Chains A and B, each alone.
Chain A
């Protein structure tokens, strides 16, 4: 046996093993994406006969809810992935909204139902969830996704399937766009958050030299870039722009690199765990002893405080707040605590936006739903897409919701908090008294 031949089997074996492992690992969390079947939900096609003889002649552009059935609203929530608690909070907020709508009689006597799926805060899983909804002709509209990456996964699929969605918490500016008539959101865009954060750091804190980090997610990198550009435009200096990955736990190498230029503040675009670990580990790094830390709405959670512990003290966090209606919020919280036994703030910040996303969808359904002679409820897809976009002056928990021409429906502004004695305290921005 030659020398080469002795080596090759091991070589090939290892290569094969690694390939197999990587494939298995990638396939595991995201189930194989179901190919989008040209189902009844695809773009308006010449009338297709439906199987059920009891139904009226329905074409693919109309959702028919037979008498006694429920109106099904899909939900893409980040139940696993980097921010499971906020994802759960958003799902529970949506459930309260569905309960309220049903208690008020539903739509023309038809009750609503939430079809919750795990979008896992990732683009891959968002695609899987999107395909699932697109293949299900009973899904009327979708609330979600929770994260920006996840919502970018949903966007093209739901656009093709003509299913409108309203995201309670995806903040990347490109979630809504002129060419997407099904894309809407209640959360405010990061175009605003990054700008306000930069103004806060430059004007309020008076810092001129900062470093920017992100977690390479659509959300984190997006807001980090907006902050960087806004800060430079104000006249400040960004000495480093370093990336990490969602799920990383050791940030000492990039922090050491940043420490060389001794910035006054590190701005991080990303989620809670990574933000907490950076806040903790930066205290070990030379050159960062006096450096402040600032995170964004993805990290504005109890989980951040729990993980960072004492390292959280004195750090800053921004949040895209709604124009909260105190009386409505307290009524909502009462129901939430009664149903789930936990205060929503312990899980995440976007429960009220989630309630309003569902409210917006339900009110639009009310406007377009018709009952036919056989007692079926008919919801025309194109009409619903228009109705959601035309929402105006709707009183929600997060303020008066009015959708602009590209689907930005939220009210409110950006708030900045600091951590004091293990709790967030607002120091700047919208609604500060």
Chain B
């Protein structure tokens, strides 16, 4: 009798869950349909030329490339530690600051003249990646590792503290004045295809982010380090029993993710000219959104999510006929909608609650 009523309750619950899920999907589709209808009606009204959309697409892909590099770091750390490293945007900013000084050094050594400019740029990029990697590993050691066994909100608060610490350290050391990247002549121009202009900096961002993501996938899928990372992600204790040095793997994960963020910081500096103490905050949040959008913990998902978000942000205001200053709202509305209707993200990685 008891068993039967239990089963009955279980079924009722199951049915109501299914009904709710269906309802959520229907509402989600309705919202998407409404947005599309609005976009179509606005673009028919405004009568923009095709090259306009292509230009906006280029702007969006470049923006997405930057988000992607940062989002990969979020996703890597989440995949392994199930924590969101909210200081990751600031790691990017620190990389950008280091890249600025790398560029100044390269300039004073005369590495930016003529053909050697590529060397100078590479130096700035490596400086940014190196310092960012160091920052990330230090963060992990100081702010996260001591809290590894703690409830999950604790390292999160620690991450917010670390984020503020990095921001205001840079503020106090280097001041509030933005640091201005002066583009060397080599990358000052761009490709021009009719009225569509692709700045070299944007091209470099896009190509580099694809390359670095490819490398990351290769590392995670085909190397011993990657196998160890996946093992730690699946089950820390079991991995440790199999002889994997868990602490080392986690530190290396932070190293990889932070180096990518550092690269993003330097390239953002070249693309948008200025870096200052709070430059990492909004891109960090956007990259986090991108990671959730693609399916957090999923590497290609982060890339796809970032590109979708970048394009949505740059095309969105024109397509939906809303003022451009609301573009952040587009990004964060996407975050909210994804969390409500597709919490597993676009690429649908099922997030298993490992700590439950």
User: Which residues of A approach B to under 8 Å, CB–CB?
Assistant: 1-7, 9-11, 13-18, 20-21, 24-25, 28, 79-81, 84-85, 216, 242-245, 247, 249-250, 252-254, 256-257, 259-260, 273, 276-277, 280, 284-287, 303, 306-307, 309
Total count of chain B residues near the partner, CB < 8 A: 69
Q: Give the chain A neighbours of B21 by CB distance below 8 A.
A: 4
B55 nearest CB neighbor, chain A only: A256
Q: Give the chain B neighbours of A28 by CB distance below 8 A.
A: 164, 167-168
Q: Give the chain A neighbours of B28 by CB distance below 8 A.
A: none
The 9 A-B residue pairs whose C-beta atoms are closest, nearest first, are: A243-B325, A286-B195, A249-B272, A84-B176, A254-B324, A253-B314, A252-B59, A24-B160, A7-B343
Q: Give the chain A neighbours of B271 by CB distance below 8 A.
A: 250
Judge whether B324 and A7 touch: CB under 8 Å: no
CB distance from A413 to the nearest CB of B (A): 30
B268 nearest CB neighbor, chain A only: A249
Task: Pick the residue among B56, B272, B279, B351 that contacts A256 (CB under 8 A).
Answer: B56
CB distance from A359 to the nearest CB of B (A): 28
Task: Pick the residue among B49, B55, B152, B279 that contacts A285 (CB under 8 A).
Answer: B55
Judge whether B84 and A242 touch: CB under 8 Å: no
B340 nearest CB neighbor, chain A only: A11
Q: Give the chain A neighbours of B292 by CB distance below 8 A.
A: 14
CB distance from A281 to the nearest CB of B (A): 8
Task: Pick the residue among A6, A21, A79 that contacts B86 (CB under 8 A).
Answer: A21
12 further A-B pairs in the complex, CB-CB below 8 A; given A80-B171, A253-B60: A5-B353, A247-B282, A249-B274, A249-B279, A250-B272, A252-B314, A253-B59, A254-B324, A257-B56, A260-B49, A277-B274, A307-B274
CB distance from A138 to the nearest CB of B (A): 29
Given A11-B339, A253-B313, A84 and B177 contact (CB-CB distance below 8 Å) = yes
CB distance from B286 to the nearest CB of A (A): 11
Task: Pick the residue among B315, B325, B344 that contacts A7 (CB under 8 A).
Answer: B344
CB distance from A38 to the nearest CB of B (A): 33
CA distance A1 to B351 in the complex (A): 13
Given A242-B324, A250-B272, A9 and B356 contact (CB-CB distance below 8 Å) = yes
- Kindly state whether residue B318 has any CB partner on chain A within 8 Å: yes
- Kindly state whether residue B242 has any CB partner on chain A within 8 Å: no
Judge whether A277 and B272 touch: CB under 8 Å: yes
Judge whether B317 and A284 touch: CB under 8 Å: no
Q: Give the chain A neighbours of B315 by CB distance below 8 A.
A: 253
Judge whether B164 and A256 touch: CB under 8 Å: no
CB distance from A348 to the nearest CB of B (A): 12
Q: Give the chain B neighbours of A307 by CB distance below 8 A.
A: 178, 180, 273-274
Judge whether A287 and B195 touch: CB under 8 Å: yes
**27 A/B residue pairs, CB under 8 Å, sorted by A:** A5-B353, A6-B351, A9-B353, A10-B296, A10-B353, A13-B152, A16-B153, A18-B285, A18-B335, A20-B157, A20-B160, A21-B163, A24-B160, A28-B164, A81-B176, A84-B175, A216-B325, A242-B323, A243-B323, A243-B325, A249-B268, A249-B272, A249-B273, A254-B324, A257-B324, A273-B178, A309-B180
Judge whether A250 and B197 touch: CB under 8 Å: no
Contact flags B164-188 to A (C-beta < 8 A → 1, else 0): 1001100100011110101000000
Q: Give the chain B neighbours of A14 by CB distance below 8 A.
A: 84, 292, 339
Judge whether B356 and A15 touch: CB under 8 Å: no
CB distance from B74 to the nearest CB of A (A): 11
Q: Give the chain A neighbours of B327 by CB distance below 8 A.
A: 253
CA distance A286 to B54 in the complex (A): 11
CA distance A25 to B196 in the complex (A): 38
- Kindly state whether residue B17 has any CB partner on chain A within 8 Å: yes
- Kindly state whether residue B278 has any CB partner on chain A within 8 Å: yes
CA distance A15 to B153 in the complex (A): 12
CB distance from B200 to the nearest CB of A (A): 10
Judge whether A244 and B325 touch: CB under 8 Å: yes
Q: Give the chain B neighbours of A309 by CB distance below 8 A.
A: 180, 182
Q: Give the chain A neighbours of B160 by CB distance below 8 A.
A: 20-21, 24
Given A20-B157, A252-B314, A260-B49, A245 and B86 contact (CB-CB distance below 8 Å) = no
CA distance A163 to B229 in the complex (A): 63
Q: Give the chain A neighbours of B171 by CB distance below 8 A.
A: 80
Interface centre among A1, A81, A256 (most CB of B within 10 A): A256
CA distance A3 to B20 in the complex (A): 12
B56 nearest CB neighbor, chain A only: A256
Q: Give the chain B neighbours of A254 by CB distance below 8 A.
A: 317, 324
Given A84-B177, A253-B327, A309-B182, A273 and B274 contact (CB-CB distance below 8 Å) = yes
Q: Give the chain B neighbours of A16 by CB distance below 8 A.
A: 153
CA distance A238 to B288 in the complex (A): 38
CB distance from B244 to the nearest CB of A (A): 25
Given A10-B353, A260-B49, A245 and B325 contact (CB-CB distance below 8 Å) = yes
Q: Give the chain B neighbours of A24 by CB distance below 8 A.
A: 160, 163-164
Judge whether A1 and B274 touch: CB under 8 Å: no
B339 nearest CB neighbor, chain A only: A11
- Kindly state whether residue B247 has any CB partner on chain A within 8 Å: no
Q: Give the chain B neighbours of A287 by CB distance below 8 A.
A: 195
- Kindly state whether residue B51 has any CB partner on chain A within 8 Å: yes
- Kindly state whether residue B232 has any CB partner on chain A within 8 Å: no
Judge whether B156 and A17 touch: CB under 8 Å: yes
CA distance A166 to B52 in the complex (A): 47
Task: Pick the residue among A6, A10, A252, A260 that contacts B52 (CB under 8 A).
Answer: A260
- Kindly state whether residue B77 has any CB partner on chain A within 8 Å: no
A247 nearest CB neighbor, chain B only: B278
